[in-house]
Amino acid sequence: MNKVSIKIADLQPMSLGYEEGQDVTREVLQRADKAYQYFHNKYLELVASGVEPELRDLLIGHDASLEDFVGRVRQVVKSGYYYDSMGVFGVYLEYNDTYVELRDYLNSRGSIDV
């Protein structure tokens, strides 16, 4: 089995490139989907390699929040109401919360090698 690791620097490609109140456009959807795909692949590698339950729960939570954000942005873009930033506000806040929890966990350990 290959050794898998995750560091703080690994979180950077997951950045949504979205800020509260910003118009919800196709570009936002593309960046969010790219961030989700990047993280989801890393998440699958880590979980398959076996991680401690606390990290596993943080990974699951963050993966779900990214997936929810992408889904909500997709709905807003499909509806054509690009200015409807309130349509993604709740899932954006959830994403921020799970990102901070995962970041803090990794900060407290430097990196995780599995």
Write out pLDDT tens, residues 97-114: 998 998 888 888 765 554
pTM surpassing 0.85?
A: no
Residue 69 inside a domain? The answer is yes
Residue 5 lies in a domain: no
Predicted local distance difference test score (pLDDT) of residue 114: 46
Is residue 90 in some structural domain?
yes
Phi, psi of 5 (to 5 degrees): -135, 160
Residue range of the domain that includes 99? 23-113
Distance between CA atoms of residues 36 and 66, nearest Å: 6
Q: How far apart are CA 65 and CA 63, in angstroms?
A: 6
Does 15 fall in a domain? Answer: no
Handedness of CA 36, 41, 44, 46 (dihedral sign): negative
Per the domain annotation, does 59 fall within a domain? yes
Q: What is the per-residue pLDDT across 16-39, written as a single tens digit (0 to 9) for each?
A: 778 888 888 999 999 999 999 988
Mean pLDDT (the chain, rounded): 83
Is 28 inside a domain boundary?
yes
In a domain, 7, yes or no: no
